[in-house]
Amino acid sequence: MLYQGVLRKMQTEMGSPIQYFLVFENDFLNMNQLLNKELTIDFIKFQCLNCGRERPIYRQGFCKSCFYESASAGDWIMKPELSTAHLGKEDRDLEYEKKVQLQPHIVYLANSSNVKVGVTRKTQVPTRWIDQGAHEAIEIVEVPNRYLAGITEVALKAHVSDKTSWQKMLTNRIEDVDLKAWRDKLQSSIPEGASEYFLGENSETHMDFPVLQFPEKVKSLNLDKTPSYTGVLKGIKGQYLIFEDSTVFNIRGNEGYFVGIGIS
């Protein structure tokens, strides 16, 4: 069977285990059902997620001009502390920025390979944690806009990492950490303006990923160098497909790549 479409990050559904869906224009695949099956991934062409044109993908699924012009790729996406919609100040498109930035945001601690701090819109919990491959996570504050979440993250970064190791996450060299204790320890470092939004009562959320076999060492599939790959799917964690031969494929990292997926 052959499926075709442009890659976008997999959609997920919380559960035991988490359910993953690869959604194309005309098809969708429940990836959990493909475990232990042999998949072939063929690169066909580029398709920018913003303009739809066949142009090399630059970042985040966008061609270079869309990445630098589209409202949905402004600097405040990766650096929430640069958000300015709460001041009525435009970056690229104030209406869009108001819609995204002026809504409840969560600052959280997640553990995928180590404890890290992060920011997400409230509607993206627990999706964001699943996408990161975190096996556990907890909220620290819920604030009314992205800016407050951003300055909280910046302040907490002085005490806890904001980076993770995807290799550790995928090889499952992980440990269980008491995130409540971390949250309580960090409370005094939440900046003014956000400290009143501290969430002291939540408990940890645990994520159960569909993985039959973790790799010892990972090699990342790069479609630019290897436009056709075949392997047996052994697991899904974060936005990665994990294959029997220790190859891993980052779906999110390949957004905007139009591929064929064969299943045998």
**Residues at the interface with Zn ion (CB under 5 A):** 48, 50-51, 63, 66
Query: Shortest gap between Cβ of 52 and Zn ion (angstroms)?
Result: 7
Q: Is 216 exposed, middle or buried (0-12, 13-18, 19+ CB in 10 A)?
A: exposed
Question: How many Å apart are CA 95 and CA 79, to the nearest integer?
Answer: 19
Query: Shortest gap between Cβ of 224 and Zn ion (angstroms)?
Result: 18
Query: Shortest gap between Cβ of 48 and Zn ion (angstroms)?
Result: 3
Q: What is the DSSP string of 118-172?
A: EEEEGGGTTHHHHHHT-SEEEEEEEESSHHHHHHHHHHHHTTSBS---HHHHHHT
Nearer to Zn ion among residue 7 and residue 107 (C-beta): 7
Query: Shortest gap between Cβ of 131 and Zn ion (angstroms)?
Result: 23
Nearer to Zn ion among residue 72 and residue 127 (C-beta): 72
Nearer to Zn ion among residue 48 and residue 155 (C-beta): 48
Q: Residue 64 is inside which H or E element, if any? A: helix 64-69
Query: Shortest gap between Cβ of 66 and Zn ion (angstroms)?
Result: 3
Give CA angle at 250 (228, 175), nearest 5°. Answer: 140
- Residue 12: strand, helix, or coil: strand
Residue 45 φ/ψ, nearest 5 degrees = -165, 175
Residue 69 token pair: 């012009």
Query: Shortest gap between Cβ of 58 and Zn ion (angstroms)?
Result: 9
Nearer to Zn ion among residue 45 and residue 159 (C-beta): 45
Question: How many Å apart are CA 244 and CA 89, to the nearest integer?
Answer: 50
Nearer to Zn ion among residue 49 and residue 251 (C-beta): 49
Nearer to Zn ion among residue 35 and residue 51 (C-beta): 51
